[in-house]
Amino acid sequence: MASVQGASPLQMRVSADKLLCSICLEVFRQPATIPCGHSFCLECIEQLWERQAGSAAYSCPQCRQAFNPRPPLRPNPVLCGIALDLVAEPQPEAEAADEAPPPGLTPCDVCTAARQPAARSCLLCLASYCERHLRPHRRSPAFRDHPLAPPAADVGRRKCGPHRKHLELFCRTDKAFICGLCLAADHRTHRVVSLDEEAESLKKELKKADLEMGKQLHETLLEIGLLQQDMDCIVRTSEKVELEITNHFSAMTESIEETLRVVIEIIGREQQAALSQAKAIRAQLEQKCMELREKKLQLEILASKSDNFKLVQESLCFSTASQVPDIPRLKSDLHSMLARASKAAAELSSQVKECLHRAMKRKLKNQGCEKSVQTSETSHHSSLLPPEPKIRKTFEESLPSQSGATAPPSHVNPTLSPGHCRCHEDDI
């Protein structure tokens, strides 16, 4: 006893490690030594063997040696005294100054005054230990078969509530963790496997599911790639068709503008011809006015003569007939011709708009906008409007010929009438 109290702190630490019960992992409380030589707390070993009462033999939790019948248990007085002196010895200052583990870390289940963060958890003991209290698991052969895992906060709850035994089995029928006593009591007819077997089976299923998920992911990525190609194709096709339609309508616009230019030229020529005719007639009329003024002046001079002989003599030589030949009247129907041409242009514009609307509506209904534009290509422009020569011919026929600027209205082509100016559906 004196050697224990007078030992150095390092020697006391080694002695304390050797005085730990391998069941509760605390300093012995009424230690008892069983026939194989190992010592445990009397209460701990009795509870363990009570749970083994239904088995064929009682075993040592360290060396697994079996005893039958159950050996008697008595406290070991020597170990009791050493354990009492060790517990009565004040804790080292370093341990007393330890702080509680930071939040979020699993505390050690053995520390009492200041709980240190656990370094590992024992899946057999179902407890977590700091580095100091983990030394028996690392050094003693008795804990060689105890599996260690990273610290887990719920490791202490992996015991069966009613029987306080390890949940080492899994019931596939009830989808629940059970112990050996649960299997014998309530799960005899159920599909029960070990926890390791269930874990291996679950790993295989997870691996299979992972492969299937990877396959589906690969197929989904391929579908996304194909969809992106379709989207790019849609954009390219739409831009191409838009450009083609723009070119077609630009060609139609150019044709209409060319026809307009020709019609304006024809109207200009007819205007110049009518003005030239009017200017020629005006020149003749002005010439006639000049001659009439001269004759009127001669008549006034003759009438003012006081010599009757000369008056009669000169009047015999004077002629009232004009020297200017008969002047033709202006024979131009330009006003009515222009009115008919304007009416024809208005009717043609209305009919073109109607033809465009009707044709596009029919094509969109039967084939769809994109398909109709792609399939029609070069024939689309010619199918929507009458050809350029036909439009130009209609306007040219509504105007008199260049050589017949003074032609009467009867020379105007009757195709300008509403019955002949309409756009037939065969042209679409």
- Tens of pLDDT, residue by residue over 131-177, are 888 888 887 777 877 878 788 777 666 777 777 677 778 898 888 88
How high is the pLDDT of residue 412?
36
How high is the pLDDT of residue 216?
95
> What domains can you pick out in the chain, each with its CATH number?
1-89 (3.30.40.10), 235-427 (no CATH)
8 Å CB contact between 226 and 218 = no
Q: Using CA atoms, how far apart are residues 25 and 44, in angstroms rounded to an integer? A: 10
Go through 78-106 and write b for each residue having 16 or more CB atoms within 10 A of its CB, e for each that does not: ebbebbeebeeeeeeeeeeebeebeeeeb
How high is the pLDDT of residue 194?
87
* Mean pLDDT (the chain, rounded): 75
* Comparison of pLDDT for 2 and 67, the residue scoring more: 67
The DSSP string of 71-123 is PP--B-HHHHHHHHHHHHSPPPHHHHTPPPPPTTSPBPSS--SSPPBPSEEET
pLDDT digits (tens, 9 = 90+) for 170-204: 898 888 888 878 888 888 788 888 888 888 999 99
pTM reported for the whole predicted model? 0.39
pLDDT exceeds 90 at position 64 = no
Length of the chain measured in residues = 428
How high is the pLDDT of residue 379?
45
For residue 87, name the pLDDT band (cuts at 50, 70, 90): low
Beta strands in 124-190 (DSSP E): 127-129, 148-149, 169-171, 176-178
**Which of the residue ranges 192-196, 205-209, 360-364 has the most confident prediction, judged by mean pLDDT?**
205-209
Percent of the chain with pLDDT over 90: 15
How high is the pLDDT of residue 99?
52
Position 158: which residue type?
R
Up-side HSE of residue 286: CA atoms within 13 Å toward CB? Answer: 6
How high is the pLDDT of residue 387?
47
8 Å CB contact between 109 and 128 = yes
For residue 373, name the pLDDT band (cuts at 50, 70, 90): very low
**Which of the residue ranges 14-28, 107-121, 276-290 has the most confident prediction, judged by mean pLDDT?**
276-290
pLDDT digits (tens, 9 = 90+) for 222-245: 999 999 999 999 999 999 999 999
Q: Using CA atoms, how far apart are residues 269 and 263, in angstroms rounded to an integer? A: 10
Mean pLDDT of the region 292-308:
87
Q: Using CA atoms, how far apart are residues 183 and 225, in angstroms rounded to an integer? A: 54
Measured torsion, CA atoms of residues 15, 16, 17, 21, in degrees rounded to the nearest 10: 120
* Comparison of pLDDT for 123 and 316, the residue scoring more: 316
pLDDT exceeds 90 at position 422 = no
Instruction: Give the CA diameter of the chain.
Output: 197
pLDDT exceeds 60 at position 30 = yes
8 Å CB contact between 79 and 28 = yes
